[in-house]
Amino acid sequence: MSIPRSLRFAVFLIAVGCFAQPPAFEVASVRSSPGAGNDLNELHDGRELIKTSPGTLTIRGASLRLCIEWAFDIAPFQIEGPDWLKDIGFDIVAKAAEPVDDDHLRLMLRTLLADRFRLKEHTERKEMQVYELTLAKGGPKFHESTTEGPPLFSNAGKGALVAERVTMSEVAEKISEPLGRPVMDSTGLKGRYDIHIDASAYVAAAGGNGGGQMDVMSLLFNALQQQLGVKLESRKDTPEILVVDSVEKTPTEN
């Protein structure tokens, strides 16, 4: 009895899926970094701890937590795992067999983390209080970037922040740390932008006391709305969280 062509094709796809291997680097070197424990801030301050080119991934002094975040393309608040993940760091140089984009490099890093660090994880939804970044009345007061290059955050003096070629999701991630709460981007803006926040006037008006959390919140709320044309609103949400079930501190040898 002959098998219908459609059924033969379905069987073929199942067979291919059974034997398909996760994407992996052709060669990879993983070494403990003397700069371990620098945590996530240095990347967000503009230092290129993670650098890519077609088919090549270079990581210098990045915490294991940051490596996991980059591999799964998630924000810091979207990962739950042991506290020591942010205290140990690695230098990783890995190359694919052929040129591939960042999306493929992320998948390959996931495979490397599973193979070399025995990373096991799962995702789940978790309800939490978040801030939602939305457009204020009148719309944005900044423009799309006209320059080439990677996204960059830098400080321009006390109470000032300059960002170049950044997405609004990256801005939301950046401001989530001083607020102590996840910030979700709901602006609907999809480009890359150059922005400048100068909160020095608000710091002066507050008597120079910008150290407490409530002061920081007030400064950001005012600066974002008046200077950028965006605002923060508090609400509950159930973002997807990556939970690290198990992972080794020491990777297998190169």
In this structure, the answer to whether residues 132 and 103 fall within a common structural domain is no
CA dihedral sign, ordered 130, 191, 158, 224: negative
d(CA 140, CA 187): 9
Q: Tell me, what's the pLDDT at 111? A: 97
**For helices 64-72 and 102-117, what crossing angle results, to 10°?**
130
160-212 pLDDT, tens digit per residue, is 788 999 999 989 988 887 787 889 899 999 999 999 988 777 666 655 554 44
Domain limits at 74? 5-124
Instruction: Please state the domain count of the chain.
Output: 2
Mean pLDDT of 229-241: 91
Q: Are 63 and 37 in contact (CB under 8 A)?
A: yes
pLDDT greater at residue 244 or residue 173: 244
In this structure, the answer to whether residues 141 and 218 fall within a common structural domain is yes
In this structure, the answer to whether residues 19 and 120 fall within a common structural domain is yes
- Locate 78 and state its tokens: 């979207």
**Domain boundary residue among 124, 141, 159?**
124
Q: Where does the pLDDT of residue 216 fall: very low under 50, low under 70, confident under 90, or very high at 90 and above?
A: low
In this structure, the answer to whether residues 143 and 98 fall within a common structural domain is no
Q: Tell me, what's the pLDDT at 102? A: 92
In this structure, the answer to whether residues 55 and 12 fall within a common structural domain is yes
